[in-house]
Amino acid sequence: MGTKVDKDKNSDGSLLRDKKITIVFVLGGPGCGKGTQCAKIAEHFGFTHLSVGDLLRAETKTGSAYGAMIQKMMKEGEIVPSEVVVKLLQQAMLRSGNNKFLIDGFPRNEENRLIFESVMKIEPAFILFLDCPQEEMERRVLNRNQGRDDDNIETVRKRFKVFTESTLPVIEYYERKGKVRKVDAAKPIDEVFNDVKAIFPPYKANYVSSSNFNAEAGVEHRMCPVLSKLAGCARKTKALFRKRAPM
C-alpha cells in the first residue's frame, strides 16, 4: 500500500520554499493547553494545525514500511527519527493547500530543530510559548485523564523533565533570536486566547475560513481534531520558568 512518506522520499522542500509560508511553533510542557489554543487560533486566523503525534499515528495506519517502523518504535518507547517526522510535516503542509501553519509540540529537541531547518529551509515566524506553573499543569493533566494509568503523577513529571531538558534549549535558542512570544497559560482558556490574539494581528488580514488538516483522513475539517496531550511548561531558568521541575 502506498504511503505519504514513501511517495515523496526525494522531496527537498522546494515546493514549500517557492510559496510564502508562515510557520509558528507552539511549545510548552504537559497540560499547558497547546491543543486548545491551536484550535482557537486555527478557527480565528485560518492557520492549519499540525500535530506530530497525530501525523505519526496516521502513518502507522497506512501499511507502509515507514508506518510499521514508526509503530514499532512508538510501542517500544523509542524516538522516531527526526528525518521521518520532518518528512511527514512537509507532506501534510503540501496537502493542506494552506500557507499558514501551527506546528504543535515541535521541535521537541535540538536535533528536531536542526533537521527541520536543513530540510525545509524555512524559519518559523515565531515561537508561541505557553508558560504555566508545574503544579497547574499537573492538576490539569491528572484531572482530565482520571483513571488512565499512563497519566499518573510520576509519568507526568517524567514528561515535564523531558520538556525541561530537551525542549527548553530550543526555546532558549529562539529567545536569543528574538522569536519567542510568551503567554501566561495559567489563566482561564478565553483569557489566554485574548493574550494570544494580541500576538497574531499581522495575520488577520489574511484570514480565511477556518480549516484544520486532519492528518488521518487527509482532508480538512471545520474544527481542529487534535487536542495534544503533550502540552505544558515550567521554567528551568529564571528567564523562562517560574519553578524548577523536580528531578
List the binding residues for CMP: 112
CB 35 within 8 A of CB 231: yes
Binding annotation:
31-36, 57, 78-80, 105-108, 112, 144, 148, 159, 187
CB 39 within 8 A of CB 223: yes
Binding annotation for a ribonucleoside 5'-phosphate:
57, 78-80, 105-108, 148, 159
The vertex-184 CA angle with 47 and 23, nearest 5°, equals 25
DSSP E strands in the chain: the ranges are 22-27, 48-51, 100-104, 126-131, 180-184, 212-214, 219-221
Residues 6+ apart with CB under 8 A from 241: 131, 164, 168, 233, 234, 235
Binding annotation for ATP:
31-36, 144, 187
